[in-house]
Chain A
Amino acid sequence: MKNFLACTVAFGVFAFSGCGEKKDGKASYALVTTGVASFWDICKKGGEDAGKELDVDVEVLMPSSGDDQKLKLEDLLAKGVDGIAVAAIDPINQAGLFDEVAEDSILITMDTDAPTTKRQVYVGMDNYDAGWMCGELVKEAIPGGGEVILFIGRLEQDNAKRRRQGVIDCLLGREKDASRYDAPGQSQIGAKYTVLATLTDQFDRAKGKANVEDMLTKHEGVDAMVGLFAYNPPLILEALKQAGRIGEVKVIGFDEDEVTLQGIKNDSVYGTVVQDPYEYGKRSIEILDALSKGNTSVIPENKFVDIPARQIRKDNVDVFWSDLNSKLGK
């Protein structure tokens, strides 16, 4: 027993002696994502490239849920990283946690902001504006107006809410107001365009596909379907293909899944709105490094480093895709 205790203490001393020290004396930063997706792999590449340029250590953590994100952040604090860029899963309820992190380390947000917290700056795009751009693509795809159905993974997170609202407000010809929120269970009827419904799938792909199929049953005359999370447009395409209705129903996407991009090339998808996750990762690490060296000039007055979204259509899909592949080293 004594030996066991001695071993335990010795191990504890050994383990804790490493705490707070960097293995090679380099500064270390972390990117914490909202989940696991190819989108985040691109972000990771951007962060790692910045790490190489600045000669700092970059760690990228991809949690499986909001609870897991909390654990990952706590682990990073325990390790003593110099700065963290986090994509907030639930900005309002995580506020306490983020403030805690901001006290012990440098905290910035990327991709999804948590504006009520002590984070120093937000790197990303405005999801409401990006949703609006997606709405513009819908208008181009069905210029005569029509019925539109939206598909999205979940609506609990802030970026999803804003993105969806942007599409709806653009289609209904409303004034821009990002604080508006239409309940997902109801149709939004405008002069030319009607948003019939918003369907969520909680990341269950079979359910995501079933949602599309059920909407093809319920609203046979639907004119356009919009997939607002990266995996939604491919599921829409798959369901349309199996129903033999490709081309009949216009598809507008979000993000840059390969199937979506291929769809734009062969005319089964009208267009997609892409963010720039590579730049999110790269700029986040650059800003964290500047802040840790005491350079606060990297923070703009509105605390928002804007990395705008872009619309991808048939005319620019090739250029975009080859640039993406070169960034990913493919």
Chain B
Amino acid sequence: MKKIKGILITLIMIYVATAILGENFLGGYNQGKLLERTGLYGLLAIGVAFVIITGGIDLSIGSVVCLVGCGVPWLVMRQGWSPGSAVAIAMVVALCVGLWHGFLITKLKLQPFVVTLCSLLIYRGATRGLAEDQSQGFGGEHEAFRQWGTEAIEVTDKFGIPYPFVILIVVAIIAWVFLNKTIWGRYLFALGNNEEAARLSGINTDRMVILSYVICSMLAALGGLLFILNGNSAQPSDFGNFYELYAIAAAVLGGCSLRGGEGTIVGVVIGTAVMQLLKNMINLVDWLKSHMEFLIVGIVLLVAVIADEMIKQRVRKLK
């Protein structure tokens, strides 16, 4: 609870401010959309949190989103695959992507930044080649399949809990249990704090690092799938561009340290919600101009990180 206090207060403050200043912010439709967006981006953020906790980084998330987001409709609409087999192959590809990153980082001792930066270029380039730079989508077909990204569990007439958010909650619970209640979770934190010490104490650190990249790529793939099911339109040259940065920002907002060894799943989900809430606020509050989006998001991010660091330092002194 202590770890997420700062970000939770930030979320509540922005929420209340937008409720007062924005138009129809509290309406069921808008609340549903906020949950939907938190669900979509949150999956990417939880994925990258695993990698960040081990002290690594994954810059290829946006390109994996692109690969799956364009690849699945391409397989279904242009190659005549069934949605089920297209999703299955997408997940297998994501698994291989994660294994490949982990292999290069642990066995060839390459730096995560470099490995995933190359991947960022390779997967986007491959997708553009595969799809011949054509926009991908399901047209008006496969409505039942697309429901995973568009439908909601109805609560009232205007408000429902969107499936992407339900999926996020399920993933978040599994991730939380894994990190906090299993020995592997402890290994991940130990590894992030001090890899050498972790290895000397008998932890198979290579295996844990590979596992974190696999989780990250597979969640990016799941996110990419839900993004295309939700929006139904993807252009290989720009789909998912910079999404890794949104994911990393949300993870950092949520208390992950880029030095490794720190982070909470609840914090990451709240961090994602803050990012989405900010964007929503900029659109709904009249005097905030949309071209100031990056400025506002950047400042809030910086203030939150500074506040978090100051709280931590005070806690250390008190100890």
Contacts and interface: CB of A to CB of B under 8 A. Distances in A.
A231 B233 CA distance: 8
Q: Which interface class (under 10, 10 to 19, 20 to 34, 35 or more) fits A?
A: 35 or more
Contact of B23 (A37, A199, A203, A218): A218
B129 interface: no
B299 to A, nearest CB: 19
A80 interface: no
Most buried by B among A204, A214, A258, A259: A214
A216 B27 CA distance: 11
**B: contact size bracket:** 35 or more
Contacts of A207: 279
Interface of A, helix, strand, loop or mixed by DSSP? helix
Nearest to A214: B283
Contacts of A206: 37, 40, 227, 230-231
A62 B25 CA distance: 41
A88 B5 CA distance: 50
B135 A231 contact: yes
Interface in A233-262: 234-235, 238, 242-243, 257-259, 262
Interface string A200-218: 1001111101110111111
B283 A199 contact: yes
A253 B40 CA distance: 27
A217 B30 contact: yes
B154 to A, nearest CB: 12
A213 B235 CA distance: 20
A259 B139 contact: yes
Contact of A205 (B23, B234, B290): B234
B74 to A, nearest CB: 14
Contacts of B106: none
A35 interface: yes
Contacts of B232: 234, 238
B198 to A, nearest CB: 38
A298 interface: no
Nearest 8 A/B pairs, CB to CB: A214-B283, A217-B30, A36-B237, A185-B289, A218-B23, A203-B238, A213-B33, A36-B133
Interface of B: 22-25, 27, 29-30, 33, 37, 40, 128, 133-135, 137, 139-140, 150, 227, 230-239, 241-242, 279-280, 283-284, 289-291
